[in-house]
Amino acid sequence: MRIAFLGLGNMGAPMAQNLIKAGHELTVFDLVAASVDKLVKDGAKAGRDAADAVRNAEVVVTMLPSSAAVKRLYLGDGGVLAHAAAGALLIDSSTISPDVSREVATAAVAKGFAMIDAPVSGGTAGAAAGTLTFIVGGEAAALERARPLLEKMGKNVFHAGASGAGQIAKICNNMLLGIHMLGTCEAINLGTRLGLDPKVLSDVMAKSSGRNWSLELYNPWPGVMENVPASREYKGGFGTDLMLKDLGLSQEASQSAGVATPLGALTRQLYQLHSGRGYGALDFSSIVDALRAGA
Ligand code: NAD
């Protein structure tokens, strides 16, 4: 299948690599030329710009950092809706506002495209291993067209509901992720300050009722686990500013729906402080430093 892949960052690059490995013909584009070059070495063709990348594609996949970037790339003059081939299937895997997601999908459908929102969970390790969870919003028929490709990049595909529903599920999930990451940091920091080995404490909690994903699969304490950002000075992974963006999306949604999310609000504030201290580009588990700094 001819696929255009736009947005080759920490997540997009390994997802695109898995599509190449599965035998698909990829044309790629990113604002960062070095990211395009890397994919070209893996077998992709380089698009000169977004319009050039999508022109002959049967499917367009996007993996972008924000609602504004998605809106611009899809709706702008040089963008996807203006240049994609008639009838193409559009898959946006970025995590963005459910309202913006619906707005873009409505414009796409009005122009004869099929479009789903398909944000992912599973982190950069899941993207590399092809084990992501896709949380899809949109028409069932569009999801069935996308499914064979999603299954090359992921292991679980959920249909959350109509357009935008994938984003709603994703921002609820990430609000919970931010909260349990902070809770995990707090617990390990306390135990360590009280004299426990952070690895022993993590092993105990992972087999006890404090068990959670941040603790078991993404431990924030340096040296407890290999192959996680904490063991490589918080480089790569899921950026603090991306977590801050997602916590902002859940706060916007909770405010507009009049739903109380007090822990989500506090977590957002703490991530705002952390970003302001210069951690924006580092992995979100680096928030453990804010607690350790109090030592
Ligand atoms: P990233 O910042 O590493 O990558 C985003 C890429 O998009 C960058 O390479 C950037 O240059 C590119 N880009 C921006 N505007 C563009 C445009 N107009 N045309 C082409 N390329 C453009 O971010 P990431 O970590 O890969 O995350 C991407 C999305 O996936 C975000 O919405 C994030 O919230 C979500 N997400 C990330 C993770 C994670 O663990 N990193 C996990 C799940 C979901």
Query: 175-222: per-residue pLDDT in tens?
Result: 999 999 999 999 999 999 999 999 999 999 999 999 999 999 999 999
Distance (Å) from CA 150 to ligand 1 centroid: 17
Lining ligand 1 with CB less than 6 A are 6-12, 29-32, 35, 50, 63-65, 69, 73, 94-95, 120, 123-124, 237-238, 242, 246
- The CA–CA distances, whole Å, from 205 to 35, 122, 158, 199, 240 equal 39, 21, 29, 10, 25
Q: Give the residue-averaged pLDDT of 275-286.
A: 98
Contacts of 23 by beta carbon, 8 Å cutoff, 6+ apart: none
- What are the structural domains, with CATH classification, of the chain? 2-161 (3.40.50.720), 168-292 (1.10.1040.10)
Pocket test for ligand 1, best of 64, 104, 132, 217 (most atoms within 8 A of CB): 64
DSSP state for residue 283 in the 8-state scheme? B
**Total residues found in the chain within this entry:** 295
Q: What is the ipTM of this complex?
A: 0.99
- For position 200, what pLDDT does the model report? 98
Distance (Å) from CA 137 to ligand 1 centroid: 19
* Cβ neighbours around 21 below 10 Å, total: 12
Atom of ligand 1 nearest to the CA of 72: 18
Q: What is the mean pLDDT of the chain?
A: 97
Name the token pair of 177. Answer: 């992720």
Query: 20-72: per-residue pLDDT in tens?
Result: 999 999 999 999 999 999 999 999 999 999 999 999 999 999 999 999 999 99
Atom of ligand 1 nearest to the CA of 11: 26
Are the beta carbons of 160 and 168 closer than 8 angstroms? yes
In angstroms, rounded to a whole number, what is the distance separating the alpha carbons of residues 255 and 84?
Answer: 36
Query: 171-181: per-residue pLDDT in tens?
Result: 999 999 999 99
| CA nearest ligand 1 atom 4, residue | 9
Please say if the pLDDT value at position 295 is more than 60. Answer: no
Give the N- to C-terminal CA distance of the chain in Å, as an integer.
55
Catalytic residue among 71, 152, 155, 170: 170
Q: Give the residue-averaged pLDDT of 251-270.
A: 97
Q: Give the residue-averaged pLDDT of 215-234.
A: 96
Distance (Å) from CA 55 to ligand 1 centroid: 22
Name the token pair of 1. Answer: 């299948």
The pTM (predicted TM-score) of the whole model is: 0.95
41 is catalytic: no
Unique residue bearing structure tokens 């240049």: 83
- For position 293, what pLDDT does the model report? 74
In angstroms, rounded to a whole number, what is the distance separating the alpha carbons of residues 288 and 223?
Answer: 13
| CA nearest ligand 1 atom 25, residue | 10
In angstroms, rounded to a whole number, what is the distance separating the alpha carbons of residues 241 and 155?
Answer: 27
